[in-house]
Structure 1
Amino acid sequence: MLEWDAYRKQLLATIADMAKLSPQTVQGYGHLSEAGAKTGHLDAKTRELIALAVAVTRQCDGCIAVHAEAAAKRGATREEVMEALGVAIAVNTGAALVYSARVMDAFASRTA
């Protein structure tokens, strides 16, 4: 298992170095990340739970490190995190099922 706090700190330090080399790129990411929060339709905890589910789907350890800490700070419970992860598991399984149907369709078109 990763040492998540150390990894998160290392990641943020590297991104800070990247910001020195390409400030507009990193600032653009920051603006995009903040844009959804400005609508006020979802609370911060819900946004972090969604971020964790997406992090699993995208297989992004950096996202997991950052958003796990943020979800905890915003009061998410283990049960809420697990429910969000359950959605990610179900959607990813569903996506595999849909793409399996695409494979079968593609295969059938080649053997018909």
Structure 2
Amino acid sequence: MDYASYLANTAANLDKVRKIEPETAAGFAAMHRAAFYDGDVSKKHKELMALAIAVAKGCTDCIGFHVRAAIKAGATRKEMTEMIAVAVLMGGGPAYMYGAHVIEAYDQMAQPA
């Protein structure tokens, strides 16, 4: 999967929803901002938590967006693979399959070291 194109398509579709349901979109954006700040738990660790939930719940769109945000917050490939292990524990075989999407997305979106 080409995650850059996939996320661009999802973002375009979300823009359509924002125009139809601006209050819902604004409420979700406010909730997102309220959750993802650097506090006692760092933004990086919050992104890894969200990513684990996305893997366990099987949300490919969420995986892409949270991999990108986790990279921006400083998460490493190894941190993501350890997160996959926890998500698989909680989500079983389906989470194992979605965990593979994390590595694919990371390898596409991370800057080479």
Higher gyration radius (CA): 1
Partner residue, 1:81: 80
What's the RMSD between the two structures over aligned residues?
Answer: 1.4
Partner residue, 2:59: 60
CA drift at 1:92: 2.1
Cα distance in 1, alignment partners of residues 72 and 2 from structure 2: 18
CA drift at 1:15: 0.5
Q: Deviations over 1:68-104 (max 9, x none)?
A: 11111111111100111111111224xxxxxxxxxxx
Distance 1:31 1:17, change over 3 A: same
CA drift at 1:34: 1.7
Partner residue, 1:100: none
**Which is bigger in relative contact order (C-alpha 8 A, separation at least 6)?**
2
Cα distance in 2, alignment partners of residues 77 and 38 from structure 1: 19
Structure 2: runs of 5 or more not aligned: 93-113
Percent of aligned positions with the same letter in both sequences? 34
CA drift at 1:41: 2.3
Partner residue, 2:7: 8
> Is this contact kept in 1: 2:18–2:24, CA < 8 A?
yes
Report which of the two has the higher share of helix. 1
Cα distance in 2, alignment partners of residues 4 and 37 from structure 1: 22
Q: TM-score, normalised by structure 2?
A: 0.75
- The number of residues matched between the two structures is 92
Q: Does residue 34 of structure 1 match 2:33?
A: yes
